[in-house]
Every structure is written in C-alpha cells, then in structure tokens.
Structure 1
Amino acid sequence: MGWLAWLCAGTIAERRIAQQLNNVHEKVNTALIEPHKQLVDVFGSLKSFERSTPDCSSELYSMLAEKVEENRYIYQAAVKLQNRKVCSSYGRKLLSPLQGNERGYPADDGYTYWFHTDHNRSVDTDFIIVSDSSIYVWLNKAILLKSLGIPSGVQLDLIDANNKESVVSSHRRSLTLEQPPGIGQLTVSADRVFMAYANSRNALVPVISLPASHLSSLKMNVFIALILAGAALLGAALYIARRTHQHYSSTAVKLRRALRDGELQVNYQPIVDMRTGCLVGAEALSRWKLNDVSIPPEEFIGAAEKSDLICELTRYVIQRIAEDYSTYLWACKNFYITINVSARDILDETFPDFVAEVLALHDIPASNIVFEVTESTLFEQTIAAAQLQRLRACGHRIAIDDFGTGYSNLSLIHSLPIDILKIDRSFIEGEKVAAVDALWQHIANIARDLKFQVVAEGVENLQQVQHLTSGGVRFAQGWLYSRDVPPEALAKLYFSISSEEQTLCG
C-alpha cells in the first residue's frame, strides 16, 4: 500500500510541477507581446530615417531620442549611415554598437539578437541588442525580465541549443545542463526540475525551472494526503461493508422466516399482443410485506443472493405459481408464465427435476412455464447451456431478460437454447424509441433472423406501441396494459375479453 501511494504521489507531484511550469511559460509568452510590439514599431520608424546624410545631426539625434522615450522597454537606439557612421539616441557617434563579447542569434523576424557572454555585468550595462543591417536597438534586460512577472523561486533561462549554455537567465546563477533538454519533458536533475519548450524563432531554447526541493516536498505532501485519504476510505469501506452485512444479514433472517411461514406473495404482470390486446402470458414477480410495509424486491432478492436463500426463494415462487395456476389460470388457453431464475438455480443440477415434479403434481404442461435468465447469470456459459437444454428438453422455453444491458453478444445467443428475447425498458424510454438507429430495432432484427420471439418491457404509452409494432415487435408488458396484479385479478383480466376477441386471440 505504502509503495503504491509513494508511486502515485510521484506521478501526481510531477504533473502538478509540469502544470505550474506550463502556466509560467504561457504567462511569459503573453508578457513578451508588448515588448516585441514596441521593438517592431521602433524598427519600422527608424527604417524611414534618412541615412544618406554625410554625418550625424542634432535633428537625427533628437528623432532617435524621441523614439526611445516613447517606448518603455527601449533603452537606446542607433542608426548606421551609408558611410558606416553610427548615430546614437544618446546624441553621440558610436565607434561600434557591438563590443566584441556578444553572441548573436538570427531570428525568423529578420533581426539578430545579441547577448553578452559576460554574466557578471551590472544592471546598467547588461543589455540585449537587437539589430538588422542598419539599425540597433538596446533592451534593458533587467527591466524586461522584471516585466515578465516570473514567480519567486521559478527561473527562466534561454539555452543555446548547440552548446547547452544559458545565454539569458532570470537568476544570478544560470542553469547548467549536462544533456540537451528534451522539449516538453519534465526533467529532474540533482538540484533543479525543469521543462524545455519549443522555439522556432531561433536557436535558443526557453527552459523554466524550479529547485528540485519543490518536487520532493510536494511529493511528500501528496504522499501523506494519499495515505490519510486511503485510511479514511478504508475506514469508510469497512464501515459500509459492516453495515451492509448487518443489513442483509438481518433481511436474510426475516426472509427465511417469511419463506417458512408463506408470507411472500406472487403477483403477475401481463404480457400482451400489441396487435390484438390479448393476454398471451405474464411475468411472475415476488412481493413481500413486512408489518404492512412493502419491502423492495431488489432489497430482499439481493439479500437472498448474498445468502443461501436464493434457491429456496426460487422454489418457493415455483410452488406458489403452480398453486395459482391450478386454482385460477388453468382455463387460460395459449397462456404462459415466466419465472426468473438465478445463476445458482441454473447451476443446481437438481433444479430441472424439482420443476418437473412440481408441475406433474399440479398437472401443468411444461410448455406453459418459461424460465427467464439475465445475461449476467450466464458467466458459466458451458454449464448454463447444459442445464438450460435440460429444461428445454422437458418442454420449457427459455427467455433472456433485459437483453442488451449485460454481456450480450451473438456468440451467447447462438450457443444457448433461447426462445425469447426481452428488450430492456431503458432502450425504449423517452426519445430512444423513435431514434433512427435505435438499439431496440437492432435487437428485434437479430431476433427475427434467429426466429426468436421478442417482448418489449416497460411499455407505458401509445407512441412506444406504434414504433415497436412498426419495427416488428409484437409482444409487450408495461403499465400501459397493467401493473403486476394478484392471480385472481390476472384471471379476471384474461376472461374480461369478449368471446369474439378470444377467438381472435386464439
């Protein structure tokens, strides 16, 4: 745990340092816009000066001085006459604008930038000289660097890409590199952590750096925060796990008692032929009231799945369905009941024999019982296929519930004995049902090609009916037709259809 947190802390700290350096680089580029604009304006103005005069004049000196005064970053300007005399804004001639200890770097803007190789010069004599063939402009390096707003502790260097030396530095101690800097890569040396940036204008590479101690300090702070957060999350997870276990354990105990005392009810939601309105089947749904309070199915079924009760719950439901069928639904022609089964039921080798015994006892044809499985219960695909084939061999049909929401693929539906696909409600809700490339339509097309029956779940309005029927889906269940009802209400609903309509249904 500790080494993983340390590794993550290093990654997080490096990303934060890189972001900090990138922010400084962006800020520097923004701050350089105005100095460069002044530089371009001065060069544009000085190019219009008359250079054919034989000597420097007071008028020329005055014009040069005026241009310098108009621009904050310009310290001095000079023009070289055609006779090679150099006239300065200081009102005097210069023997040479360059002293011989400068290094020049031509740039793509047509200018050459000259930097002193002596880094120990005073503020008043340390300049950046910019020139073309006849114009020289001096920029005060200290004023320029100050205007960039570089944060305390951060250092900017312009590195000569050829010899790896710092030409300009915002710090008295310039950055020393042993290797050419990698562009856009955060690099950590013995005493600095830095990032180099691309510069297409000349051979100088901008490098922004921080003391390496910043990275190590940040890494340690992040490490401590991760350890504390991990401890808090672990504590919360243990607390939630304990409470969840207590909750489900308590629910499971009450559920076991309810199964023993026959307190669970089974309701049925009709499955309807949308073309005729006839009832062709119903899905069996478990319902439980504890002290007159309805317990949500996902809660008690979840508790059953986390304990050893899920198989007992399924068998309880099958028993109740058999009793309801033989009491209320035996006269319903061409009518089937679907029963949801879990992964444990499918893997239980005694399950098909139990079903056969219960149905035989109540004289119920196997063809009237359909078993629903969800895609997530079929992770043991080979075993599941064998068990489902046993049920199918007895005369039952197999349906996949909520098709398309789990691990569905063509190999699954080809390898398993499937008869019915149930389209999940999420695929037909809202505007999805009318979408041009609706997923439910693809499911219906696949089912039609494989000769499967399709049932749409969650049908709540006529718009859905219109789109589904036009898309080849014939059967549906949902609140538009009926909520889940007790078995006697289901029988009453079935026989409420007129004799003429029953003939049509048959």
Structure 2
Amino acid sequence: MITRLTLVSASIALGCLATIAPVLTSIYVADEDAERRDEAELREFAGKAVMRADLVTYQAFGALADLERAPGAACSPGNLAEAARVIFNYRYVQDAGNYGNGQYLCSPLLGDVRSQDLTLPPPDFRSNDGYFVWFHQRNPLSDIREDVQIGRNGHYVSIDPGSYVDLIDPARRPIGVLNIDTNTVIAVSPGSDPDDMLNAWKRGGKVQSDQWRYAVSRSATRPLGVVVKSARSSLVNNWPKLLFMWLSIGVVSGAAVGWLMFKRISRQLSFPATLEWAIARKKIDVAFQPIVRLADNECTGVEALVRWTLNGRVISPEVFVTVAEENRLIQPLTDLVLEKTLAQLGGWLHSNPAFYVSINLSSEDLRSDRFLNKLTTALKGTGIAPSQVRIEATERSFMHADATRGIIASFRAAGHPVYIDDFGTGYSSLSYLQSFRIDVLKIDKSFVDTIAQDTASSVVAPHIIAMAHELGLEVVAEGVESASQVAWLIDKDVQYGQGWFFAKAMPAHELFTWLRTRHAPKAAAGVPLL
C-alpha cells in the first residue's frame, strides 16, 4: 500500500512538474524577450531624442547665420526688424539680438537696452567652431525663466530648454539632454531629476535599478548627449497569477494549441526546404528599380531586388529573405542575385560605364571577405568597373561593428561604393557613422512619406539630410511617389530619388525598354545615352 501510494504520489508530482516546468520556462523566456524588446525600443527612442536635440541646435545656428547677414548697424531699426523676422521664422527661437562687452545691447523683445547696463556673464561653453553657449541664462525680462542662449560674432539667440525634450511620446518617458564636453545637463522633461540623468550618462546608461531602465545616445555632429529612461515591467514579478492563469488555460486548450503548433512548425520546417530548393535551381528572380538623379531627371543606376513566385503566388521578400537569414541560406541567395544581375545587366554595364547596379548584402555577408572575393572573380574579364557594382547594407549590419568595419573598408578599397539602406529604421545609435567610411545614405520610405508634413516624424528626413551633408555623404530618397516630394527633395539638395514616381522594379528586358524610351530624345539629338 505504501509503495503504491508512493508511486502514485511520485507520478502526480512528475505530472505536475511536467506541466509546470514548460509554463515556468515559457514565462522566463517571455520575460527575457520582453526585456530585449523594451531595451531596443528605448534605444530607438534615445536616437529620436538625439535627432530632436540636433534639430533645435541647427535651428539656432541657422538663426545666427541670418542675424549675421542682417542689414544696418547693430540695434538700428532695420537690424531689429530683421531680428524680429528671425524669431518668427525659426520655431524654437524665443529671442534674438546683439550683445557686446559683457552686456545685452538690444533685441526685439528687450528693445534698445545699451544704456541699461544689463550684464551678460561669460559663456559656460565655447565650441571649436566659434559658438558661445550659456546653458541656464536668466532672461532679463523674467525673475524665474532660464533659457539656453547661443551666440556668435556679437549676435545671440535664446532657446526654451523645453524644446530639446519636447517629443511626442504617449508613454511620457523622461528625457535629459546634456553637453557631453562639460557634463552639463541642458534640459530635462518635466518631473525628471537632472542629477539622475547626469549619473546615467556617466555610467553609459548601465544603472542598476529595479524600477527603471536607461538608454543613452549621442549626436554624430555636435557635443550633445541624450539620456532616456522607462519604467521596468517584469512578467516574473507576477508569476503566481500567471502560473494559475496558464495552468487553467493549459488544461482546457493544451491539446488544441499543441496541434496548431505542430502544424505551424511543420509548415515552417517545409518552407526553408522549399526556399533552398528554389535557390539551388535558380528559381529566384531579380528585378531592377531605377535610381534617378533629381537635378536632371537622369537614371544613373538601378537597385537589384530579389523576387520569388511560388506556384503562382508572389512571396514577399520580407518573408523569404528573413527565412534565408535564419536558415543559413542568405549567402547562396546573395550569390544567386549577383550571378543573375551580371548575366542580365553585364552587357549594359559594359556599354555604359557611368551606369551602376547596387546589390543588397546581409549582415552575414559583411562578416567576412567571402562575397568580396566572389564579386572580384566574377568581374574579371567583363570590362565592368568595380564602381559599377555598389553595395547596400542595412543598419542592422553595423551592429557587428568589429567584424563589419574591415569588410566595408575592403569593399571601398576595391572600388565598390557602399550605401546604408533604409537609414533611420534600424540600429538606433548613430555613432557608427564616425567610425565607418561609407558613401551614400538612403532615406527610408517611411520618412520620405512624411516630408513637408506637420507630424512627429516629419523632422527626421530634414535631420538625416542635414547630417549627410555635414558628413559629406550623398543621399538617395526611397519611396518617392509625387512631384511635390521631388520638389521638396531638390530644395533640400538631395541628389537622387527612387520610387514609383519614376518607375517600379522591373525585369531586365523591361528596364532596357524603359531606358531606351526615356533617353530616345537625347539619342536622337546626338547626346550620349548615359
């Protein structure tokens, strides 16, 4: 009796353990995944906050440049009228005027105060390019208000510190903006602790806290840093309730869920095998989307885009490329794209030395020189210059910085220009732009869609363009769909556009027809095709 009771008890215990263990394991895995997702989202938010801080600073610089071009002597009626125009034109500028010899001289808000002896203290920071900054300057018209004041060559502008942290964020996550050369907190969002933000910055965001998680980011062009934080939430902390819930649901629906998971896993296992078969038998196609120089509407090159039709159904590249990356099929897929691209465009590239094609590489392709060696071998004897085959890498590729940096340099040394594709949507830190040598930024369609609109994300495209110009990079705008977008991009000195406004992605034979039709008038006039 005791032996049987012990056996039954052991069986029950093992049964409970077998039931509970997967649940606890699932809760732990889900908690870890939630942690990673929250951290990635917070890093992305920090990157957006840096863009905002950069934008406010660039507006101040633009306002100062306008003040320096203002007509008339300092504090003259014409000079003050121009300063008033500057205040009206620049959204984040609160006041603009002249100073000298440690005193305010005049501004549209202060008037002419040269006789009032309004003292201006020495600046808190002097930049290498000639800007003076007062981080917390008391406004002469107020006993409590403090502005960020930026000056140069006797002109100044005042910025409300709140402009640096005024982001649309339903979660209302605390933000802090700092000058990283002096470790001075410039601005924090309402209710935030400046000392807490400074401490988090000094620790690189690695603050031990059960309540908060932190992320930091810094500007690629100015001595600005951002700290953001969000409240921690943990599934593990609520494990008793979760365990009870999962056990209750699991008893009723375990069999059904198990069957569905079996079917799903079966499909997932068969899909990679089908993709491997398609790659091996070269059933994957390549389409080419033109890239147009905006200044003269000239097609200068194309991007090679992978396409797959299975049993009459078009499979999204986002689906099968992801499956290829997860199942060690991405390198054979990239090799097939190169092979078909050269086979279909080789003659055109040889006949038109100014024309080029860009090929997308995955992060795995950029961890070794395998593909570079294959590309070099493939181009031998074709008469195609290395500059006619360009490399596109998404921002995710740059997360493996140590492995990628040397490969990127090798591609450029071999004569292949390097593009960053879908810029602004991936790797949240922009610091890699300082350590990687690249040639072109491609602005993602999601940002091009919002240009010239009054939306929270509409500031991103102008910021990326300004950053690219400052770093000496060319810009390609993806997803261009209207003439108004083209006009806006030309006004911002964007060199190239790509999208359905010009042409969709098409097979090689359609591309050749499109190119010949597009350039027929020039050919008739005796102008070279490209």
Q: TM-score, normalised to structure 2's length?
A: 0.50
1:357-376 → structure 2 map (5 Å cutoff): 357-376=377-396
For 1:234 and 1:443, the matched residues in 2 are separated by 50
Q: Aligned-pair distance for 1:230?
A: 7.7
The answer (yes or no) to whether the contact 1:336–1:369 under 8 Å persists in 2 is: yes
Change (3 A) 1:242 1:466: farther
Map of 1:409 onto structure 2? 429
Map of 1:341 onto structure 2? 361
Map of 1:479 onto structure 2? 500
In structure 2, the gaps of 5 or more residues are 1-20, 29-238
Q: Aligned-pair distance for 1:304?
A: 1.0
For 1:378 and 1:251, the matched residues in 2 are separated by 29
Aligned pair 1:316/2:346, yes or no? no
For 1:330 and 1:505, the matched residues in 2 are separated by 13
- The secondary structure found in structure 1 opposite 2:271 is helix
Aligned pair 1:382/2:413, yes or no? no
For 2:22 and 2:303, the matched residues in 1 are separated by 52
For 1:401 and 1:470, the matched residues in 2 are separated by 22
Q: Aligned-pair distance for 1:283?
A: 0.8
Map of 2:516 onto structure 1? 495
Map of 2:279 onto structure 1? 259
Aligned pair 1:446/2:467, yes or no? yes
For 2:498 and 2:253, the matched residues in 1 are separated by 43
**Rg larger in structure:** 1
For 2:341 and 2:510, the matched residues in 1 are separated by 14
1:443 corresponds to which letter in structure 2?
A: I
Q: Aligned-pair distance for 1:277?
A: 1.3
Q: Which moved more, 1:440-449 or 1:272-281?
A: 272-281
2:442 corresponds to which letter in structure 1?
A: K
Structure 2 counterpart of 1:392, from 397, 405, 412: 412
For 1:261 and 1:4, the matched residues in 2 are separated by 44
Residue-by-residue CA offset, 1:320-351 (whole Å, 9 max, x unaligned): 11111223443234211111111111113322
For 1:375 and 1:465, the matched residues in 2 are separated by 25
Map of 1:271 onto structure 2? 291
For 1:282 and 1:322, the matched residues in 2 are separated by 13
2:420 corresponds to which letter in structure 1?
A: I
1:48-197 → structure 2 map (5 Å cutoff): none
The answer (yes or no) to whether the contact 1:433–1:464 under 8 Å persists in 2 is: no
For 2:306 and 2:446, the matched residues in 1 are separated by 22
Residue-by-residue CA offset, 1:276-316 (whole Å, 9 max, x unaligned): 11101111011112223222212221221111211000001
Map of 1:332 onto structure 2? 352
- The secondary structure found in structure 1 opposite 2:365 is helix
Q: Aligned-pair distance for 1:434?
A: 6.2
1:460 corresponds to which letter in structure 2?
A: E
Aligned pair 1:423/2:448, yes or no? no
Q: Which moved more, 1:277-286 or 1:223-232?
A: 223-232
Q: Aligned-pair distance for 1:421?
A: 0.4
Map of 2:118 onto structure 1? none
Change (3 A) 1:252 1:327: farther
Residue-by-residue CA offset, 1:102-127 (whole Å, 9 max, x unaligned): xxxxxxxxxxxxxxxxxxxxxxxxxx
Q: Aligned-pair distance for 1:249?
A: 2.6
The answer (yes or no) to whether the contact 1:434–1:467 under 8 Å persists in 2 is: no
Q: Which moved more, 1:346-355 or 1:387-396?
A: 346-355
Aligned pair 1:301/2:331, yes or no? no
Q: Which moved more, 1:344-353 or 1:478-487?
A: 344-353
Q: Which moved more, 1:242-251 or 1:408-417?
A: 242-251
The answer (yes or no) to whether the contact 2:23–2:246 under 8 Å persists in 1 is: no
For 2:486 and 2:260, the matched residues in 1 are separated by 43
Map of 2:165 onto structure 1? none
Residue-by-residue CA offset, 1:247-281 (whole Å, 9 max, x unaligned): 33322222222222222211101001122111011
Residue-by-residue CA offset, 1:169-208 (whole Å, 9 max, x unaligned): xxxxxxxxxxxxxxxxxxxxxxxxxxxxxxxxxxxxxxxx
Change (3 A) 1:457 1:314: same
1:386 corresponds to which letter in structure 2?
A: G
1:426 corresponds to which letter in structure 2?
A: S
RMSD: 3.4
Structure 1 counterpart of 2:305, from 285, 294, 297: 285
For 1:384 and 1:483, the matched residues in 2 are separated by 31
1:400 corresponds to which letter in structure 2?
A: I
1:267 corresponds to which letter in structure 2?
A: A
4+ runs deviating over 6 angstroms: 1-5, 219-222, 230-241
Change (3 A) 1:324 1:226: same
Residue-by-residue CA offset, 1:397-445 (whole Å, 9 max, x unaligned): 1111110011143311111121110000101215665669621111001
The answer (yes or no) to whether the contact 1:256–1:309 under 8 Å persists in 2 is: yes
Q: How many residues align?
A: 296
